[in-house]
Chains A and B, each alone.
Chain A
C-alpha cells in the first residue's frame, strides 16, 4: 500500500510568487490534514478535510492560503502571493476513520523556501 505522497519535495520561490503543493493521501482515507512546521517552531495544524469538505480550517494563517480537495482524493494547498514567513515544511497527513485514537499517516513534507 502506497503511503502519503507529497509533491514537490522542495520548492524555492521568490516573495510574491505563487506555489501549489500537492498531497495524495492513502487510498480510501477520507480524512486529510495539512500541517506546517516553521523553522525552530513546532508542527502546527492548518486544516482538515473530510472527503471534499473542509471540516476545520481554523489553522489557516490568512487568505493567501487556499486548500482544495476536489473529488475527495488528492488535495492542493496554494500560497498566493508567498511571503518570507511562509517558509517552512508543509506536511500532509491522512487517516481512514475519525476516532480519538486516530493514527495519522504523514507524508515526508514539502520544504518551501520563500526568498
Chain B
C-alpha cells in the first residue's frame, strides 16, 4: 500500500536550522515533492527530487535516498515567516498522475 510518514509537529527558534523528515512506502516512485502551506493559504512548491542527493535552493535544501525511501527538507536561518505546514508528496506513476501526500508537518518558529 501507500504510506508517507512525517512528524506531525516541530518547533524551532529564529536563526536555527531544522530538518523535517519524510519516509515513504509506495508501489512506484517517480519523484518526491515538498510543498509549503501557510494556514488558510494555497500550498506552494518548494522542491523536487527524483535522483539521490541534495538539492539546494537558498535557505531550503531537500535530500533524497531512494534506497531508504527517505527524504528530508532542511531549513536554515529560520525566520518567523517559515512557520507553516510542510507537505511531502510522492508521485508513484508516470507524469501527470496523482501525487500522494503525507499529512504534513506543522513547523512553529519562535523568537
Residues of A within 8 A of B (CB): 3-4, 31, 33, 35, 40-45, 48, 50, 55-56, 58-59, 91, 98-109
Chain B 71-111 residues near chain A, CB threshold 8 A: 87, 89, 91, 94-104
Q: Indicate the size class of the contact surface on chain B.
A: 20 to 34
Given contacts A99-B95, A100-B50, is CB(A44)–CB(B101) below 8 Å? yes
With A42-B102, A105-B45 given, can you name 17 additional A-B contacts, CB distance below 8 Å? A31-B96, A40-B103, A41-B103, A42-B100, A42-B104, A45-B100, A50-B96, A55-B96, A56-B96, A59-B98, A91-B42, A101-B31, A101-B48, A102-B95, A103-B48, A106-B42, A109-B42
> How many Å lie between the Cα of A31 and that of B104 in the bound state?
24
B4, B31, B100: the one within 8 Å of A100 (CB): B31
A-B contact count (CB 8 A): 63
**Is B4 a contact of A42 with CB atoms below 8 Å?**
yes
A residues in contact with B13, CB < 8 Å:
none
> How many Å lie between the Cα of A45 and that of B4 in the bound state?
14
**Is B98 a contact of A45 with CB atoms below 8 Å?**
yes
**Would you list the 9 A-B pairs with minimal beta carbon distance, nearest first?**
A45-B98, A98-B96, A106-B42, A43-B101, A42-B101, A106-B43, A103-B45, A108-B42, A42-B103
A40, A45, A99, A105: the one within 8 Å of B99 (CB): A45
Q: Which residue of A lies closest to B40 (CB)?
A: A108
> How many Å lie between the Cα of A102 and that of B45 in the bound state?
10
> How many Å lie between the Cα of A58 and that of B97 in the bound state?
10
**Is B50 a contact of A101 with CB atoms below 8 Å?**
yes
B residues in contact with A4, CB < 8 Å:
42
A residues in contact with B98, CB < 8 Å:
33, 45, 48, 56, 58-59
> How many Å lie between the Cα of A59 and that of B99 in the bound state?
11
> How many Å lie between the Cα of A82 and that of B98 in the bound state?
24
B97 to chain A, nearest CB (A): 7
- Cross-chain pairs A/B with CB under 8 angstroms, 18 sampled: A41-B103, A42-B102, A42-B104, A43-B101, A45-B99, A48-B98, A55-B96, A56-B97, A58-B98, A91-B43, A98-B96, A100-B91, A100-B95, A102-B96, A103-B45, A103-B48, A105-B42, A107-B42
